[in-house]
Amino acid sequence: MTLSQLYPGDKILDPYSSLTFLVAGRSPYGDGILLITDRVIGVGAMDAPEPDSEIENHRITGDNDYLLSNLSQWLNSDQADWFSPSHPADTPPSEEYLSIRPTLYDPIGHNAYAHKPGFLTRFRKEFTDRICSSKIPCADPSDSSIRCFETRVFCPSAAELGLRTGVVNEGEELPLFRDFRMRYASPSEECLMESEWFPAYFRSHRMFWYWLRTPNTKARGFYAVSHFVNPFMYKFACSPWMGIRPMLSLREDTPVAPSEGAFGICRFVY
């Protein structure tokens, strides 16, 4: 069978990366079937503080223009040395820069990922070759206008999750999230093991927050976060304890093996 024969909510395991995805529906941004990880797969900042920025907030919070974010660049890289400045004031998500955040009680650059290989390095070439390019809508934090951004892996938007933030919508609600419970996700075991921050509520059996690409257009440097109590909230871009739950679109003809056993999880076939 192929990916096109699955339904929103169906689970698919990628044996090589050990990541499990949920079918979110047919992609509205190009070819393929849209997938999202079933769990939060990492913790880290959306963007590092930029001490040389002309925008005062960005000097301590990081940039909230998703097109220029560290996380977007990392998610789309298949290189070990992935960081390249996207503008003159851009900085990497290293301990040096992440420690310049507006948190006086904990001035430590937790969960730096500048030294980690790009996200796409964890997949086989047969998988990455099937990832479709998507033209996703992104809000400009300076004036709320929508721009289309061509990318392969991306964070979901508030609108795609069925949330209404009061700003211009970046896309429409995806079929998967017509059931609001599908917004909730817990951290994976790998996520827990790799994190340098471990509060009591950060557990594999508890729901956790994760980044959305939706900016706060009334406060520079802040992004929306899908929260497990409130529908959403805003956090400054360099928050090092926000979850990462990426999306991507995969070719419809991608081979999939039917689920076996009681858990109903299909798997990609190489």
- Euclidean distance between CA atoms 29 and 213, whole angstroms: 15
The count of C-alpha atoms lying within 13 angstroms of the C-alpha of 233, restricted to the half-sphere facing its C-beta, is 11
Report the DSSP beta bridge partners of residue 236: 222
* pTM for the predicted model, two decimal places: 0.94
The pLDDT tens digits along the chain (270 residues) read 999 999 999 999 999 999 999 999 999 999 999 999 999 999 999 999 999 999 999 999 999 999 999 999 999 999 999 999 999 999 999 999 998 876 654 556 689 999 999 999 999 999 999 999 999 999 999 888 999 999 999 999 999 999 977 777 899 999 999 999 999 999 999 998 888 877 777 888 899 999 999 999 888 899 999 988 777 789 999 998 899 999 999 999 999 998 876 568 999 998
- Of 155, 124, 154, 75, the residue nearest 268 (C-alpha): 124
